[in-house]
Amino acid sequence: MSSFRQRMDESRGLARLDLILKRARLVNVFSGEIHETDIGIHEGMFVGIGTYEDAERVLDLGGDYVVPGLIDGHVHIESSHLCPEEFCSLLLTHGVTTAVVDPHEIANVLGVQGIRYILDSIEDLPFNAFVALPSCVPATELETSGARLRAADLKEFLDHPRVIGLGEVMDYPGVLAAKEEMVAKLELPLRFKDGHAPGISPQDLNAYYRAGIHTEHECSTVEEARERLRRGFYVMLREGSAAKNLRDLLPAVTPENSGQCLLVTDDRHPRDLIQEGSIDHLVRLAIQEGVNPVRVIQMATINTARAIGLSRLGAVAPGFQADFVILKDLNRFEIEEVYWRGKRQSRRGERPRLAKSSIKGLTGSVHLGNRSLDQLNVKIDSKGLHSARVRVIGVQGHSLITSELVRELPIINHCISADPAQKIAKIAVLERHHKTGNVGIGFVEGLGLTKGAIASTVAHDSHNLVVVGMSDEEMNLAIETCVEMGGGLCLIEGEQVIGKLPLPIAGLMSDQDAYSIARTLSEIHEQAHSLGVFETIDPFMTLAFLSLPVIPELKLTDLGLVDAAKFQLTSLLV
Amino acid sequence: MSSFRQRMDESRGLARLDLILKRARLVNVFSGEIHETDIGIHEGMFVGIGTYEDAERVLDLGGDYVVPGLIDGHVHIESSHLCPEEFCSLLLTHGVTTAVVDPHEIANVLGVQGIRYILDSIEDLPFNAFVALPSCVPATELETSGARLRAADLKEFLDHPRVIGLGEVMDYPGVLAAKEEMVAKLELPLRFKDGHAPGISPQDLNAYYRAGIHTEHECSTVEEARERLRRGFYVMLREGSAAKNLRDLLPAVTPENSGQCLLVTDDRHPRDLIQEGSIDHLVRLAIQEGVNPVRVIQMATINTARAIGLSRLGAVAPGFQADFVILKDLNRFEIEEVYWRGKRQSRRGERPRLAKSSIKGLTGSVHLGNRSLDQLNVKIDSKGLHSARVRVIGVQGHSLITSELVRELPIINHCISADPAQKIAKIAVLERHHKTGNVGIGFVEGLGLTKGAIASTVAHDSHNLVVVGMSDEEMNLAIETCVEMGGGLCLIEGEQVIGKLPLPIAGLMSDQDAYSIARTLSEIHEQAHSLGVFETIDPFMTLAFLSLPVIPELKLTDLGLVDAAKFQLTSLLV
């Protein structure tokens, strides 16, 4: 870095700079204005605004808009199925130059080795990737994960400059009960602690906030957002591929509290990333909903930087890192060019090519126990009955929350069976890390599936193997296909594998090209719909969340059905 | 402090609390709303909002407003002439529970000993007083101060928990030129660095901000405020006794930038503190000017806390310190009760009695050199002329900024003389710390003085002895009176001392009762007006700033007339 004296001269306009943006129309997140100015840039930093003349390169923007590089305050790379390099390269095309990634999916499979991989892979990218250390691996004691991370295990990462936060603290009952291990994690010296507490009572929110957890992305109603804002939380307005909350939450944002609000994606499907975008998509949505564009951009930049303690990012200001986006029309918010540290990374959607880290040691992560053909049977002493009353998971479109339904299902050969007539499928979660042979079995309504089977090794948060289907035979073939791929997604119809996507990295991600993965995913989504899955359902994303017991109401893990509101196992039979 | 588990239970409403406020109408600075709620308090902290039932004491507010304790982000106690205990006790009656004090006045007289005194005196008060270490002692090389503080001298204070910032960096040319000593101070590990750069060019503001100086209270126009907001500064809207900028600056505050704006007093006269108030006065003014009351209160609480890095102050939220104010009417903003750490300190203006630190070792600070009767003469080789063209300091009401005037003054007995006809007085600044015998002499217009003399040992920032008068005899008596008092303020008419206020602590402050000091000050102000001083002029406050060379345009120090825009000495004769 240049000397103090040199820095003063640069900012004053007395030194030759690397780059000057002339006639920029700056969206100024500090003054809340849009004003025309020159912008001086040197050695990757903004040196100031006003008038600059002398530089290696002068770019006359002719009134085009300049916006600080967008920030995603909370995202799981793994949910895109892309490796970090492909993921960041896509984000750059969308004007996102900073993201806080919480690698808790890969950590649930591979533990610290997974976190190390993420840190290694982001290290040399032209992108500001920061890591929030997973706080809940496993997410609960109601499932079997590949790894268990204690506070002591996380300490090796505390000195890493990219490690800045504690990842979403889903185990809020553990916080409220002051469980020793949870307290030890909360006391780690990190800049911020990320929240995740859907369903917590407003009264208990006081304790959750007091524990030092000051951000929260799990609001789905204005009322939930308001209860959190009132207690001081930074409310992350989320619009992911699975959970879409932005439009519902915007009415909670006012001029007096917007500083406490920020935009995050949490989970984004690669097709959505390519077609809709990342945080830029949320910006467009919010502008379309009528929010003042300057305020929207504050929520996508400086508010996020403040909430998570990034003091040199999120604004075009002297001494801030020169990450910015150029646009021709603020309301349309179509990204023209994207710069990171003063260097152009993308122009009109062109993707930078980023060298990839080795994935050696991260593959071959599917380890099922001994299998048998009748493993998926739900035997019942039927006493001559032809049907049984069972708890059924009710899936809702565009939501991570399921409902607990009670349905009559047919008994066939002393086993409770899926029912095509009611469009109720069987679902199973097979432990895939330690060969325990654990299998949880349940039923699910609302997917639309009428035939075939779908399986995946992406199943939050322990990423066991989840499979749904209308017949045990098809489900068994789906399981075998996943094993053969070393993890991934597949669809079965009859005896045919009609579609698949191998995910060699921990059974979660692929190191292949983002576009090719998106294309395959589109194809297998179409194939899923050909098996009856409703158009409103994203089949694999939905499947992946059916095993996540921290989000209400009824879920399934390798240990069985979980009443997620009560945080305990429950019985299939009513 | 209670255990983590205990804290969770308190916040959840499962433990008995010290105090519950029932039916409070909370001005919530996070959610930007006013909403009715219970507020739980235990061991001096807010535990939460919502519903609480079990406490030692339950206070039913019946819908009265609760506002976080107000914060003054930048104030010099010395300007009130009160000792810290009297000062803080007054602030408490006005709902101010936190202040960042910059002891650079006393430090200019007594150096580190002065800072130690301030730290000792605030230590046990029921008030959150924090210290910004003076960065500019002396303020310039254009005057002689009592002490010189280098970065190395400040290091003894870095570990003190009340020391959080670097005080207003007035020497902005030193910053821009990267002077070694200034850079060393800027690199001290402190939470914030306070700005003070009137007259700096917008372009140079980039460098000033980049040097890490992110707050600024020296704006007097919307344009200045806007240039600072655009570069990222927190703009402190100041309303002091001498400088009143709030009304002029409020038009710069918008819903999109108000988070960057905060209220400070800088300097407050004890009469103004008693009659008008402190930050509460600014809140009332801003509400009267039509700013949304919730936004005004944000500028008086949480915005300030954030700007200066106080993470547990400025809001009613779980884990925040239980400092708050109770009011019956938000728009009138009349303080009903004031609590600090959950304990009531004041009710309807009643003042808490606070024990005072010893002032031993701080008195007897007036040390003039050898004096002579003709010391104040301005001899001139008149060559038969009856008048001379001289630079005259032009005083303006309600502003620290003076103008440089050119006037013809009479020559009497080969000396340039004050001129009652033009209401132009003589002014002298006598070095009073090291017995150097330095005397700077000039003339001043705009005070209104027509007879007598006024002297003071309060003269920013070096606090030499400043005296104005219409005759050398009266000025000499004024000087003698100041010496006899060991520092203070006095007025002379003919051979009479018509008024005086001894200021034994460093010649700046008194340890007497605030009300009695305010009364004496009122009396001597009236007496000053009886000497002709205009009603629009606060005589001693104005006098105190005539020697401050960091504020334009023409000033006088013990070294002579200073062109404050050019930062250099200038000649009396044109």
Are the Cβ atoms of B207 and A33 closer than 8 angstroms? no
Statement: the pTM of the whole predicted model exceeds 0.90:
yes
Q: Tell whether B372 lies on the interface with A, counting CB pairs under 8 A.
A: no
Closest CA to B174 of B154, B145, B146, B151: B151
Collapsing DSSP to helix, strand or coil, B56 comes out as strand
Q: Which helix (H) or strand (E) holds B516?
A: helix B514-530
pLDDT at B382 over 80: no
First to last CA, chain A: 67
Q: Select from B179, B153, B283, B165 the least CA-distant residue to B214.
A: B165
Nearest Cα of chain A lies from the Cα of B48 at a distance, in angstroms, of: 5
Give the Cα separation of A8 and B228 in Å (integer).
17
B residues 272-291 lying closer than 8 A (beta carbon) to A:
none
- Alpha carbon A30 to its chain centroid, in Å, reads 28
pLDDT of residue B16: 98
Contacts of A414 (CB under 8 A, 6+ apart): A379, A380, A381, A382
CB-based contact, B203 to chain A, within 8 Å: yes
**Based on C-alpha coordinates, what's the Rg of chain B?**
24
Q: pLDDT tens digit string along B139-198?
A: 888 999 999 999 999 999 999 999 999 999 999 999 999 999 999 999 999 999 999 998
Give the SS3 label for residue B287: helix
Pairing of strands B465-469, B453-456: antiparallel
Cα A467 to chain centroid distance, Å, stands at 22
Digit-coded pLDDT (tens) for A409-426: 999 999 999 999 999 999
Give the model's pLDDT for residue B1.
59
A494 Cβ contact partners less than 8 Å away, ≥ 6 residues apart: A452, A474
A210/B8 Cβ within 8 A: yes
User: Band of the pLDDT at B199, cuts 50, 70, 90?
Assistant: confident
How many CB atoms within 10 Å of residue B77? 28
**From the CB of residue B280, how many other CB atoms can be counted at a distance below 10 Å?**
24
Calculate the average pLDDT of chain B.
96
Cβ–Cβ contact B209 with A under 8 A: yes
Mean pLDDT of B70-96: 97
Determine, for residues B260 and A4 on separate chains, whether the beta-carbon distance falls below 8 Å: no
Rounded CA separation A115/A147 (Å) = 12
Per the model's pLDDT, the better-predicted residue between B229 and B242 turns out to be B229
What's the CA angle centered on B256, arms B254 and B261, to 5 degrees?
Answer: 65
Do A318 and B51 count as a contact with CB atoms less than 8 A apart? no
- pLDDT for B397 equals 77
Q: Tell me, what amino acid is at A267?
A: D
Neighbouring residues of B275: CB distance < 8 A, sequence distance ≥ 6: none
Residue B72 has pLDDT above 90, yes or no: yes
Tell me the three state secondary structure of residue A107.
helix
Q: Are strands B560-563 and B496-502 parallel, antiparallel or unpaired?
A: unpaired
Å from B248 to nearest chain A CA?
Answer: 17
Dig out the tokens for B69 from the structure. 């304790």
Residue A1 touches chain B, beta carbons under 8 Å: no
Give the pLDDT confidence score for residue A459 in this predicted structure: 95
Q: What are the chain B neighbours of A12 within 8 Å (beta carbons)?
A: 176, 203-204, 206-207
Residue written as token pair 């900012």: A11
User: Alpha carbon of B217 to those of A254, B168, B169, B194, B227: distances in Å?
Assistant: 28, 9, 11, 8, 13
**Cα–Cα distance measured from residue A465 to residue A478, given in angstroms and rounded to the nearest whole number:** 10
CB B441 within 8 A of CB B427: yes
Q: CA B305 to CA B308: how far, in whole Å? A: 6
Chain B residues within an 8 Å CB radius of A295: 255-256
Instruction: Please state, in angstroms and rounded to a whole number, the distance separating the CA atoms of residues A539 and A397.
Output: 10
- Chain B, 169-198: which have a CB under 8 Å from a chain A CB? 175-178, 183, 186
Q: Give SS3 for A3.
A: coil
Q: A501, A527 in Cβ contact below 8 A?
A: no
Residue entry with tokens 């489900």: A475
Strands A33-42 and A17-28: antiparallel
Using CA atoms, how far apart are residues B302 and B453, in angstroms rounded to an integer?
A: 46
Instruction: Give dist(CA B127, CA A208) in Å, integer.
Output: 28
DSSP annotation of A260 reads G
ipTM of this complex prediction, to 2 decimal places: 0.93
pLDDT (0 to 100) of residue A1: 59
Region of residue A178 (left: phi > 0; alpha: psi -120 to 50; beta: else): left
CB atoms within 10 A of CB A292: 15
Among B49, B212, B232, whose Cβ lies nearest the Cβ of A315? B232
| B413–chain A Cβ distance below 8 A for any pair | no
Q: Under 8 Å CB-to-CB from B80, ≥6 apart: which residues?
A: B87, B90, B267, B268, B269, B270, B273, B509, B514
Residues linked to residue A200 through DSSP beta bridges, in sequence order? none
For chain B, the maximum distance between any two Cα atoms, rounded to a whole number of angstroms, is 92
- Would you place residue B552 in the very low, low, confident or very high pLDDT band (cuts 50, 70, 90)? confident
Q: Is the pLDDT of residue B243 over 90?
A: no
In which residue ranges of chain A is pLDDT below 50?
none
3-state secondary structure of A68: strand
Decide: helix, strand or coil at residue A286: helix
Query: Chain B closest CA to A234's CA: distance in Å?
Result: 9
Q: What is the pLDDT of residue B396?
A: 86
